[in-house]
Chain A
Amino acid sequence: MSDQVKRLKISELVPGTQNVDILVSIVSLQRKELKNERGESVYYYGILGDDTGTISFTAWIFPPTVRIGDVVEIKKASVREYKGINRVYIDAGSEVIMHPGESMDVRRSYSQLKIKDLSTAQPYVTVEGRVSSVREKELERDGKKTMMYYGDLDDDTGKIRISSFDKPLKEGSFIRMEGAKVSEYNGRLRMTLGSRTEVTEIKPSFQVGERLYDIHDISSPLGGVTVNGFIVSLGPKSGLVMRCSACNNRLDDIHCPDHPEAPVAYDLFAYFTLDDGTGSIQCTGGKAALLGHLGFTPEEYTPENKTISRRLVSSRLQEKLLGRAVVIEGDVTRNQSGTSVRISSLNYVDTDFMKKLEARMGADFQ
C-alpha cells in the first residue's frame, strides 16, 4: 500500500483507492447519531460532487460547520464499494479543509436503478417507470400558489410513491426521471421530482405485472410486492374494530368521546405472520383486503346486524387465515419493530398460482 497522496477527480475514484485527495462540493449532507453497546457516536453521510460527477460518502470525522454547496478539500480518504455503490470514506486519519468563498460546478451523474434497488443511501438517481393513480393538490409555498402532483411509479420490480411540484404527471405514461430524490417517510420510500429533475417520456423496455418475491429477498420498504406462504400465527388482537363514523377514530367504548351522537362503524384489523420457507414477515390487513374472506358483505358488516359479534369475527379470522396458503399483495413498510407488509389483497393459493410459481422456481435450475 502506497502512502503517496493522490489528487484525483471523482470520475477517477475506484474501489480500493487509499490516501485520496479530492477537491469537491458538498451536494447533500446528513448527520446521524448512532447508539450501541459501545456508546453514542455521530457520523455524516451524503454526496460529494465535482466537474466530473458525484459520489456518496461516509465521514466519521467532519467539521460541523460545513454546509451544502461548500467547497472542501478532503485528504487521505479511501474509496470502497458498499452494497454495490462506490463510496468515499473519511475517518480519523483524513483531513477536511474548508475553502470558504469558493464555488464549484458539479456535473450531475445519477445511477440508473430499478425501484427495488432504491434506498436513501443513494438519494439522487435515475428511474424509469409507469405513472398511475395521479392526483393533484394546490399548495401555498412562500405566499405563492403552486401545484403538487402525486401518484405511483411502477416498474417490473416494485412500486414507489412519487410527487412533483409544478411538473404535471400524466396518468399511464412511461417516464424516465433523471436526478429524482429518494427519501423515506412513515416507513415507506418515496421519490420527489425537483427543479433539477429531468423528466422524459419513454417507450418502456419492461412490463409492469405481478412482482413475486421470496420473503428472504425483501429488505427495503418496497411498494407493490406479491408474496406467498402459510399464515403461521394470527395476532390475538386481530378482529372487529369499532370506529367513530364522524372522526374515524378507533373506539374502546361504543361512544366516541368527541362525537357521542355519531353512529359507530365496524372496521376490521388483522395482523399475522406469513412464512414462505425462505423467511417470515409480519403482515397487517384491513376490511378491504379481508372482509370478503370472512363471508361478510360490507352491507352485512354493520352494528345493526346483531348476528355479528367480536367472537364471531375472531373465530372466522382463525378459520379463514390460520394455516392457510395465501398469496398477498401489498406495500412493505419499515419501522422500529421491523419490516412488515400492509396488504391490499389476499387470495388463497390455487392451481393457477402454483403453475406460475412452478415456472418461476424451475428457472432457478435451467
Chain B
Amino acid sequence: MTRKREFTNWIFGRELRDSRELEERPDEERAKPYVITPLGTRVRRVLFCGLVSQKNADESMTRVTVTDGTGNFYISAFNSDFGMQAKAMVDALEINDQVLVMGRVSSYQNEGKTYFNVNPEIAIKVDSVSMDYWRMKTLHIARRKIYAIRMARNRPGSTATDVKAAGYSDLEAESAMKAMEKYPDYDLQEFESAIAAQIQPAAKEEHKSSKDFILQYIQANDTDGRGCRYEDLLAASQNASISQNELDDLLNSLGSDGEIFEVSLKRYKVI
C-alpha cells in the first residue's frame, strides 16, 4: 500500500512564530508532534520563500535564517546519512539570496517558550517572480482560513459541516475548528494586517512612510525580548523596497528622534 504524502503547508513565518500548541501523534511511533498554528493549520511539513538573513556553517551542521518579511524561519541542515543532500543545498545559499525551502518542522521548548526549527528537504535559490508567486498564494491560503475562522466565530456552535457548507474545503473547515478550540482569542485582524502589509504594494502604501514601516516591524519582531535583529529588519525592508542605505538613515533618524534605541549591537527596540 502506498503511504500518503504528508501535506505541505504554505505558511508565513508569522503564523509559525505565533504558534503555541502541539498535537501529539500517539498512533505513530516516534513521530514528532504536529504544530497547531493560530489559524488552526496542522503543520509538519512547510514550504516558504524568503531572504537568507543569517548563515552559520561548520562541517556537521549549517544553520540559516530565512525571513519572509512577516517572521523568521530557522533552518538546520545536518551532515547525517539522510541529510547530506539537503545540507549541500543549504551550504550553497548566501546571505540575501532569495530562496524556496520545503522541510519538516520540529519544536523545542526553552524557559516556557516554544521554538521551531525546519529540517530542510529542499532549499533552492529562486527569482523574484517565484517569491511574489509564493507570497500571493500563501496570502490567499491564509485569508481563506481567516475568513473561515471568522465565520465560525460569528456563529457560535458552528461545526466543520457548517463551515464546509459555506464553501470552504474539508481542510479549511477543520482548521477553523482547531483555531476556535486552541486559539479562541487570537487577533486575526492584526495578523491579517501584518501579512498583507508585507505582501501587497497597496497595503505597503498604507504605511504613512518608511519610518512607520520600520517602527512597526521592530515592534512586531522583538521575538525573544532582546530587540529586533538588524538582519531581519534589512530583509523585511528589502521586501518593502527600502534599500539598505535608506534603512540605515532611517534607523539613525529614529534613534535621534528618541523613537527607538539600540539595545545591543544591531538589536533595536521601540521606546
Query: Is B a genuine binding partner of A?
Result: yes
Q: Using a CB–CB distance below 8 Å, which chain A residues touch chain B? A: 216, 230, 232-233, 273, 275-280, 322-325, 337-338, 348-351, 354, 357-358, 361, 364-365
In the assembled complex, which residues on chain B have CB atoms less than 8 Å from the CB atom of A337?
2
Selected contact of B47 from candidates A275, A279, A322, A361, CB within 8 Å: A275
State the CA gap A275–B143 with chains docked (Å): 19
B102 interface residue per 8 A CB criterion: yes
Distance from B188 Cβ to chain A, minimum over Cβ atoms (Å): 14
Minimum Cβ distance to chain B for residue A169 (Å): 37
B82 close to A (CB within 8 Å): no
List B contacts of A361 (CB < 8 A).
136-137, 140
Q: How far is B144's CA from A273's CA once the two chains are assembled, in angstroms?
A: 24
Given contacts A280-B7, A325-B130, A364-B140, 10 further A-B contacts (CB under 8 A): A233-B121, A273-B5, A277-B9, A277-B137, A277-B138, A280-B5, A325-B126, A349-B130, A361-B136, A364-B143
Interface residues of B (CB under 8 A from A): 2, 5, 7-10, 47, 100, 102, 121-122, 124-126, 129-130, 132-134, 136-138, 140-141, 143-144, 147, 169, 171
The reply to whether B130 and A324 form a contact with Cβ atoms under 8 Å apart is yes
Closest CB-CB distance, A257 to chain B, in whole Å? 32
In angstroms, Cα B7 to Cα A230, docked, is: 14
Chain A-chain B contacts (Cβ-Cβ < 8 Å), number: 70
Write the nearest CB–CB distance from A72 to chain B, whole angstroms: 37
Alpha-carbon gap, A357 to B10, bound state (A) = 17
Contacts of B5 in A (CB 8 A): 273, 280
Chain A CB within 10 Å, residue with most, of B5, B121, B137, B169:
B137
B8 A216 Cβ-Cβ under 8 A: no
Residue pair A322, B122 in contact (C-beta under 8 Å): yes
Task: Please name all residues of chain B whose beta carbon is closer than 8 Å to the beta carbon of A358 when the two chains form the complex.
Answer: 136
The 9 listed contacts between A and B (C-beta, < 8 Å) are A233-B122, A273-B5, A275-B47, A277-B9, A280-B8, A324-B126, A325-B126, A361-B137, A361-B140
Q: A280 CB to closest chain B CB, in angstroms?
A: 6
Q: Do residues A323 and B126 form an inter-chain contact, with CB atoms below 8 A?
A: yes
* Most central of A275, A276, A280, A323 by chain B CB within 10 Å: A323
For the complex, give the distance between the alpha carbons of A354 and B132 in Å.
9
Q: Which residues of B contact A233 (CB under 8 A)?
A: 121-122
Task: Name A216's closest neighbour in chain B (CB-CB).
Answer: B169
Task: Tell which of B2, B5, B7, B132 has the most Cβ of chain A within 10 Å.
Answer: B5
